[in-house]
Chains A and B, each alone.
Chain A
Amino acid sequence: MSAAHDDHHHGPAKGISRWLFTTNHKDIGSLYLWFSFAMFLLGGTFAMVIRAELFQPGLQLVDPNFFNQMTTMHGLIMVFGAVMPAFVGLANWMIPMMIGAPDMALPRMNNWSFWILPFAFAMLSSTLLMESGAPNFGWTFYAPLSTTYAPSSVTFFIFAVHIMGASSIMGAINIIATVLNMRAPGMTLMKMPLFVWTWLITAYLLIAVMPVLAGAVTMMLFDIHFGTSFFNAAGGGDPVLFQHVFWFFGHPEVYIMILPAFGVVSAIIPTFARKRLFGYDSMVYATASIAFLSFIVWAHHMFTVGMPIAGELFFMYATMLIAVPTGVKVFNWVATMFRGSMTFETPMLFAIAFVVLFTMGGFTGLMLAITPADFQYHDTYFVVAHFHYVLVPGAVFSIMAAAYYWLPKWTGYMYDERLGKLHFWLSFIGVNVLFFPQHFLGLAGMPRRIPDYALQFADFNWISSIGGFLFGASQLILLFVVIKCIKGGKKATAQVWEGAQGLEWTVASPAPYHTFATPPDPKLIHDQ
Chain B
Amino acid sequence: MASVGSHENYYVPEQTKLPFFASIGLVFMVYGLGAALNDMKAAESATASTWISLFGFTLLSFIIFQWFSTVIRENHAGMNSDQLKRSYVWGMAWFIFSEVMFFAAFFGALYYVRNFAVPWLGGEGDKGISGDMLWPQFAAVWPVIENPNDALFTNPHEALNVHEWSIAFFAKFLPFWNTLILITSSVTVHFAHTALKAENRKGLIQWLAVTVALGVIFLFLQAFEYIEAYGHYGLTLDSGIYGSTFFLLTGFHGFHVTLGTFILAVMLVRAIKGHFKPDDHFGFEAASWYWHFVDVVWVGLFIFVYLI
Complex contact flag A–B (Cβ < 8 Å): yes
A-side residues, CB < 8 A to B, are 1-5, 7-8, 10, 13, 17-18, 20-24, 101-103, 105-109, 111-112, 115-116, 119-120, 122-123, 152, 155-156, 158-160, 162-163, 166, 169, 172-174, 176-178, 180-182, 184-185, 207-212, 214-216, 218-219, 221-222, 224-230, 232-238, 240-241, 244-245, 248, 306, 308, 514, 516-519
- Residues from chain A with Cβ under 8 Å of B148 in the complex: 233-236
Bound state CA distance, A111 and B94, in angstroms? Answer: 18
- Residues from chain A with Cβ under 8 Å of B169 in the complex: none
30 sample A-B contacts, Cβ–Cβ < 8 Å, listed by A number: A2-B9, A4-B74, A5-B11, A18-B15, A23-B13, A102-B12, A105-B91, A108-B67, A112-B18, A112-B22, A116-B27, A119-B26, A123-B30, A152-B42, A156-B34, A159-B33, A162-B30, A182-B10, A184-B7, A185-B2, A215-B106, A222-B248, A229-B241, A230-B245, A230-B248, A244-B108, A248-B108, A308-B125, A308-B127, A516-B7
Nearest A residue to B125 via CB reads A308
Known A5-B11, A237-B113; 15 more pairs at CB < 8 Å: A2-B78, A21-B19, A102-B10, A103-B10, A156-B34, A159-B34, A214-B105, A215-B106, A232-B153, A233-B135, A234-B147, A235-B153, A236-B153, A238-B112, A238-B117
B279 interface contact, C-beta 8 A = no
Q: Are A181 and B240 in contact (CB under 8 A)?
A: no
Nearest B residue to A522 via CB reads B4
Contact of B97 among A108, A207, A212, A221 (CB under 8 A): A207
Q: Given A177-B90, A216-B105, is A4 in contact with B11 using a C-beta cutoff of 8 Å?
A: yes
Q: Are A229 and B12 in contact (CB under 8 A)?
A: no
B216 interface contact, C-beta 8 A = no
- Residues from chain B with Cβ under 8 Å of A224 in the complex: 41
Q: Are A236 and B23 in contact (CB under 8 A)?
A: no
Q: Are B8 and A517 in contact (CB under 8 A)?
A: yes
Contact of B15 among A4, A17, A209, A222 (CB under 8 A): A17
Q: Are B12 and A181 in contact (CB under 8 A)?
A: no
Contact of A105 among B22, B90, B106, B242 (CB under 8 A): B90
B61 interface contact, C-beta 8 A = no
- Nearest-neighbour CB distance to chain B for A163, whole angstroms, equals 6
Q: Given A180-B90, A211-B99, A229-B244, is A8 in contact with B144 using a C-beta cutoff of 8 Å?
A: no
Bound state CA distance, A123 and B152, in angstroms? Answer: 33
- Residues from chain B with Cβ under 8 Å of A101 in the complex: 7, 10
Contact of A235 among B26, B79, B87, B244 (CB under 8 A): B244
B-side residues, CB < 8 A to A, are 2-4, 7-20, 22-24, 26-27, 30-31, 33-35, 37-38, 40-42, 67, 74, 77-79, 83-84, 86-88, 90-91, 94-95, 97-99, 101-102, 104-106, 108-109, 112-113, 116-118, 120-121, 125-127, 130, 134-135, 144, 147-149, 152-153, 236-238, 240-245, 247-248
Nearest A residue to B80 via CB reads A2
Contact of A21 among B10, B20, B109 (CB under 8 A): B20
- Nearest-neighbour CB distance to chain A for B107, whole angstroms, equals 10
Q: Given A108-B67, A227-B238, is A7 in contact with B244 using a C-beta cutoff of 8 Å?
A: no
Q: Given A235-B149, A235-B241, is A212 in contact with B104 using a C-beta cutoff of 8 Å?
A: yes
Q: Are A236 and B147 in contact (CB under 8 A)?
A: yes
- Residues from chain A with Cβ under 8 Å of B247 in the complex: 228
Bound state CA distance, A160 and B109, in angstroms? Answer: 23
Q: Are A116 and B102 in contact (CB under 8 A)?
A: no
- Residues from chain B with Cβ under 8 Å of A13 in the complex: 15
Bound state CA distance, A474 and B200, in angstroms? Answer: 69
- Nearest-neighbour CB distance to chain A for B230, whole angstroms, equals 13
Q: Are A119 and B67 in contact (CB under 8 A)?
A: no
- Nearest-neighbour CB distance to chain A for B138, whole angstroms, equals 8
Q: Given A156-B34, A233-B121, A241-B113, is A115 in contact with B19 using a C-beta cutoff of 8 Å?
A: yes
- Nearest-neighbour CB distance to chain B for A35, whole angstroms, equals 13
- Residues from chain A with Cβ under 8 Å of B116 in the complex: 238
Q: Are A306 and B94 in contact (CB under 8 A)?
A: no
Q: Given A211-B101, A230-B244, A308-B126, is A181 in contact with B86 using a C-beta cutoff of 8 Å?
A: yes
Q: Are B11 and A2 in contact (CB under 8 A)?
A: yes
Q: Are B9 and A5 in contact (CB under 8 A)?
A: yes
Q: Are B4 and A185 in contact (CB under 8 A)?
A: yes
Q: Are A4 and B12 in contact (CB under 8 A)?
A: yes
Nearest B residue to A3 via CB reads B79
- Residues from chain A with Cβ under 8 Å of B118 in the complex: 236
Bound state CA distance, A160 and B31, in angstroms? Answer: 9
- Residues from chain B with Cβ under 8 Å of A3 in the complex: 79
Q: Are B240 and A236 in contact (CB under 8 A)?
A: yes
A-B Cβ contacts below 8 A, count: 262
- Residues from chain A with Cβ under 8 Å of B152 in the complex: 232, 234-235
Bound state CA distance, A13 and B106, in angstroms? Answer: 45
- Residues from chain B with Cβ under 8 Å of A4 in the complex: 11-14, 74, 79
- Residues from chain B with Cβ under 8 Å of A216 in the complex: 105
Contact of B31 among A159, A173, A212, A237 (CB under 8 A): A159
Q: Given A182-B87, A228-B238, A237-B113, is A152 in contact with B38 using a C-beta cutoff of 8 Å?
A: yes
- Residues from chain B with Cβ under 8 Å of A232 in the complex: 152-153
Q: Are B27 and A123 in contact (CB under 8 A)?
A: yes
Q: Are A22 and B15 in contact (CB under 8 A)?
A: yes
- Nearest-neighbour CB distance to chain B for A240, whole angstroms, equals 8
- Nearest-neighbour CB distance to chain B for A414, whole angstroms, equals 30
- Nearest-neighbour CB distance to chain A for B97, whole angstroms, equals 6
Q: Are A241 and B109 in contact (CB under 8 A)?
A: yes
Nearest A residue to B140 via CB reads A236
Q: Are B38 and A107 in contact (CB under 8 A)?
A: no
- Residues from chain B with Cβ under 8 Å of A210 in the complex: 98
- Residues from chain A with Cβ under 8 Å of B79 in the complex: 2-4
Q: Are A219 and B12 in contact (CB under 8 A)?
A: no
Bound state CA distance, A21 and B15, in angstroms? Answer: 5
Bound state CA distance, A240 and B247, in angstroms? Answer: 21
Q: Which of B10, B84, B113, B247 is the most central at the interface, judged by chain A CB atoms within 10 Å of its CB?
A: B10
- Nearest-neighbour CB distance to chain B for A113, whole angstroms, equals 8
- Residues from chain A with Cβ under 8 Å of B86 in the complex: 181
Q: Are B12 and A103 in contact (CB under 8 A)?
A: yes
Q: Are B22 and A244 in contact (CB under 8 A)?
A: no
Bound state CA distance, A212 and B100, in angstroms? Answer: 10
- Residues from chain B with Cβ under 8 Å of A181 in the complex: 83, 86-87, 90
Q: Given A182-B83, A234-B148, is A23 in contact with B15 using a C-beta cutoff of 8 Å?
A: yes
Contact of B7 among A112, A178, A240, A518 (CB under 8 A): A518
Bound state CA distance, A413 and B276, in angstroms? Answer: 50
Q: Which of A106, A177, A224 is the most central at the interface, judged by chain B CB atoms within 10 Å of its CB?
A: A177
- Residues from chain A with Cβ under 8 Å of B38 in the complex: 152, 155
Q: Given A102-B10, A235-B149, A514-B12, is A169 in contact with B248 using a C-beta cutoff of 8 Å?
A: no
Q: Given A111-B16, A173-B91, A182-B87, is A156 in contact with B31 using a C-beta cutoff of 8 Å?
A: yes
Nearest B residue to A180 via CB reads B90
- Residues from chain B with Cβ under 8 Å of A169 in the complex: 95, 98
